[in-house]
Structure 1
């Protein structure tokens, strides 16, 4: 098959390259070759988006972190110059993730407590039981099997449903609509309809919890609605964000991390043969750095002139920070293209940086620690049951991964 897969053409040497850039099948875990070349050429580049407009691409780790801390840049998509990922009609609000302080901080504080490290650690035994039960079912079922459907999607979906108070039997509904919402191939109408279905679903669930509150996060939001701290629509939109982020990213990390380990058997052996929690936690951080599955870049609008690497970026311009290339910056991570589970990778930016860094990162870390520390130990003969070149990679969404991962043992 062709070396370069689905994606926008990188453009000519004399022109502005399109973004996102296509990956190479020579190593589907690496950032796009043109993105790597842009980083090697300098800390800043100009790229063109779907709308035909040019924006600044920030390629270096230190510069990205500095910009993400700068109050002169905005996460709000309606600001002049904001680099939208796809056409939008402004109706698909995904809550505080695309707001600035103080409103961002006010809403975020309402859902922070359930994701605190101590609260998350208290969930570890329940997550371990979910993982063990699903592995039992895999071992008792067909061989080979699609790891996505049998394991990677159910694990985080069951966990986030329990945390939010969403019935797991509705997982097909919210997974299908989540896929439409994050795909760049979806039309504005399709994304709006998917968002509306999810908001409507959670609004109906809110009504049920007003009648019968429970000990879950969504019931807590309902209490804030009743206290006048939050509108019902805001609560539903916060629920969409948490439901979407709570299963989609972790599921892709499980599958893509497993694939990367199967393609690096010496690294897999280090993880499979250890029961040291520190080794497992370190492996999770390195896989997060190496894979960086949020691959459309973190995007901001510049509100006042800023200087990045000696270049003035003007108010009203847009900037894109591709975390996958920041996590491969040799100034931050020596020999960055090598998967090394013994590396101290804790400073990666896979979860972002600054006030908008991922709220659910303690939960994601804990889930991945349980999965990576259990799956390969319990199924030591796990192997890929397809050719790497034939796997259907996710090139047209905001989160990178594979649609299917056939495995056998």
Structure 2
């Protein structure tokens, strides 16, 4: 009997993935589930399976990464050029090649001082409010929004507009007509930016993409640039903002871990990797179409079937992460799958790492008495969005705080 795909977190355990995943990992072979999209799909739940299948070119990403949790999703819609999350093969390699330089580790490291300055300024602004404040609105959302706006050349004063639209687009239970209206509005907004940058270039990512494509004799079209811009704008702030707030809540619930991080900032890189693994905010995994028969152990996924690569489950696989349900900032390093794997592994992962490292280095030292302003049980979570997090995080602190570090 095919069971339903789990789409919720365990009651009272907001940091843990669905309990069904542990059963899937313990069972032989792949598990078959029915999805909210109305199709059956295999679930890859073990670490090695997820890694192997996400790099298999017989699995297509032509649907949205989380279309399996969207009721009545159009799984066979045409994929337009420029949709980097959806295209495969040569079309995907073309876009990755044009973007790879922009997100290279060296370029992201060069942004670190600027990001640190933004974080210090935002902490100053938050402290001026004298608490309590909502950490999501006062800090977690502004930081990646500032960074991605500056990177793309998007006016920061427009942030409320794209934040509102992107929040609607990552919901899994929204009205489809309203979502299409919101998407169309965002499309028009980014198209205006692209046309302006084609007319007058500046030192930003979109302008450089326009120039690089022309220099390579392979210019990006306006629809391609718009699609790339929308993808980067949404992905560039939704995931990091949710990681900042949810990580803070997790650390507040693990005070010994928080104290260790606050006392030794050199732990920040390891803390980022452990919290990415532990929280796995891309909560529903990645959806793939099987384009040719794919053997997996003793069984075969037939062409035309579907696969869900359960990142949150793979990141708790006990064979790779002993005692994986425990948050441990001192855990021996192992390559988590929070950014996916294979050809579509997250392009912006180094930027996210730099942002999170600087947040973890600065926020908890600047505000060592940071604490929840409401009972933990009153926190509301984003169970209905593609990227998991908290809806709000009311926090407060004591007076007499250190200045910028």
Query: 1:191 is matched with which residue: 167, 176, 179?
Result: 179
Residue aligning to 2:330: 342
Distance 1:346 1:190, change over 3 A: farther
1:319 aligns with 2:307: yes
Structure 1 residues 225 and 272, CA gap change in structure 2 (3 angstroms):
same
Structure 1 residues 123-170: Cα deviation after superposition (integer angstroms, max 9, x where no partner): 101000000001111111131100000000000000001011001110
Structure 1 residue 26: deviation in Å? 2.6
Note closer, same or farther for the CA distance 1:361–1:175 as it changes in structure 2 (3 Å cut).
same
Report the CA distance between 1:40 and its aligned residue. Answer: 2.6
Match of 1:68 in 2: 54
Residues 226-281 of structure 1 deviation map (CA, whole Å, 9 limit, x = unaligned):
666211111101000000110000000000000000000011111010132xx210
Name the CA distance, whole Å, in 1 between partners of 2:359 and 2:248: 10
2:7 to 12, 21, 28: 21
Counterparts of 1:8-407 in structure 2 under 5 Å? Answer: 15-77=1-63, 83=68, 85-89=70-74, 90=77, 95-223=83-211, 229-276=219-266, 279-407=267-395
Q: 3-state DSSP class of the match of 1:201?
A: helix
Q: Is the 8 A contact 1:286 1:346 kept in 2?
A: no
- Contact 2:37 / 2:73 at 8 angstroms: preserved in 1? no
The alpha carbon displacement at 1:300 in A equals 0.7
Indicate the larger mover: 246-255 or 34-43. 34-43
Distance 1:267 1:250 in 2: 20
Per-residue deviation, 1:292: 0.4
Note the C-alpha offset of 1:341: 0.2
Provide the secondary structure at the position in 2 that maps to 1:112: helix
Alpha-carbon distance in structure 2 between the residues aligned to 1:207 and 1:249? 27
Name the CA shift for 1:92/1:394 in 2 (closer, same or farther; >3 Å): farther
Other structure's SS at 1:307 match: strand
How does the TM-score come out when normalised to structure 1? 0.91
RMSD: 1.8
Q: Distance in 2 between matches of 1:163 and 1:346?
A: 30
1:316-345 alpha-carbon deviations (Å, 9 max, x no partner): 100001100100000111110010001134
- Once residues 406 and 325 of structure 1 are traced to their aligned partners in structure 2, the CA distance between those partners, rounded to angstroms, is 29
Indicate the residue corresponding to 1:10 in structure 2.
none
Query: Could you tell me whether the CA contact under 8 Å between 1:85 and 1:296 is conserved in 2?
Result: no
The residue aligned with 2:403 is: none
TM-score (norm 2): 0.92
Structure 1: how far apart are the matches of 2:112 and 2:327? 27
Q: CA deviation at 1:53?
A: 2.3
Contact 2:339/2:349 (<8 A) preserved: yes
- Asked if 2 retains the 8 angstrom alpha-carbon contact of 1:225 and 1:232, the reply is no
Describe the SS at the equivalent of 1:111.
helix
1:175 Cα deviation after fit: 0.7
